[in-house]
Amino acid sequence: MKDVEVSISKFKAVNKADIMLNGITVLSGVNSSGKSTISKLLYYTFKYANEFETIVREIVREKLDDIDGFAFRLSYESKGLGDENGELKKIFRLYNSSDITLEHKKEALLKLLNKSRDLLNSEENIKDSQDRFSQDRYIQIVKKLLETTEDKSLDDYFDDVIKLVKKIFSDAGKLLENRDYTIFKNFLEEKLGNSIDTIRINEYGYSFVGIDVKTIPIMEYIQQVIYIDTPVIVGAVSDFVSDYWDDLDSLLQKKPVISKKIFSEMVESIIRGKASYDEDIMHMYRYHRMDDKVFNLFDSATGIKSFSILQMLLNNGSINKNTLLIIDEPEAHLHPQWIVEYARLIVLMHKHIGTKFFIASHSTDFVSAIKYISTKEECLDSLSYYLSEEDKDNPYTYNYRSLNTDIEPIFESFNKSFALIEEYGADND
Q: Given this model, what pLDDT does residue 167 score?
A: 97
User: Is residue 346 within 8 Å of residue 338, measured between CB atoms?
Assistant: no
Q: Given this model, what pLDDT does residue 243 score?
A: 84
Q: Based on the fold, state whether residues 168 and 65 are members of the same structural domain.
A: yes
Q: Based on the fold, state whether residues 169 and 69 are members of the same structural domain.
A: yes
Q: Based on the fold, state whether residues 166 and 238 are members of the same structural domain.
A: no
Q: Based on the fold, state whether residues 151 and 240 are members of the same structural domain.
A: no
Q: Given this model, what pLDDT does residue 260 score?
A: 66
CA–CA separation, 296 and 286 (whole Å): 5
Full residue range of the structural domain in which residue 292 is found: 234-321
CA–CA separation, 66 and 87 (whole Å): 21
Q: Based on the fold, state whether residues 251 and 170 are members of the same structural domain.
A: no
Q: Given this model, what pLDDT does residue 129 score?
A: 47
Chosen domain end from 297, 321, 345 = 321
Q: Look at residue 77 and tell me if it is in a domain.
A: yes
CA 283 vs CA 217, 232, 276, 303, 372: distances in Å: 38, 18, 10, 22, 41
Q: Based on the fold, state whether residues 156 and 64 are members of the same structural domain.
A: yes
Burial grade of 130 (CB within 10 A; 0-12, 13-18, 19 or more): exposed
Q: Look at residue 90 and tell me if it is in a domain.
A: yes
Q: Based on the fold, state whether residues 162 and 63 are members of the same structural domain.
A: yes
**Count of domains observed in the chain:** 2
Chosen domain end from 321, 339, 354 = 321
Q: Look at residue 82 and tell me if it is in a domain.
A: yes
Q: Which stretches within 238-330 are classed as H helix?
A: 243-252, 261-271, 302-315
Q: Based on the fold, state whether residues 67 and 146 are members of the same structural domain.
A: yes
Q: Given this model, what pLDDT does residue 138 score?
A: 85
Q: Based on the fold, state whether residues 165 and 238 are members of the same structural domain.
A: no
Q: Based on the fold, state whether residues 62 and 172 are members of the same structural domain.
A: yes
Chosen domain end from 321, 339, 355 = 321
Q: Look at residue 387 and tell me if it is in a domain.
A: no
- Which residues have a Cβ under 8 Å from the Cβ of 319 and sit 6 or more positions away? 226, 260, 310, 313, 325, 349, 353, 355
User: Is residue 182 within 8 Å of residue 196, measured between CB atoms?
Assistant: no
CA 368 vs CA 98, 340, 347, 411: distances in Å: 44, 9, 12, 9
Q: Which stretches within 179-242 are classed as H helix?
A: 181-192
Low-confidence ranges of the chain (pLDDT < 70): 1-2, 123-134, 235-241, 258-260, 281-282, 416-418, 426-429
Burial grade of 353 (CB within 10 A; 0-12, 13-18, 19 or more): middle
395: enclosing H helix or E strand: none
Q: Given this model, what pLDDT does residue 132 score?
A: 46
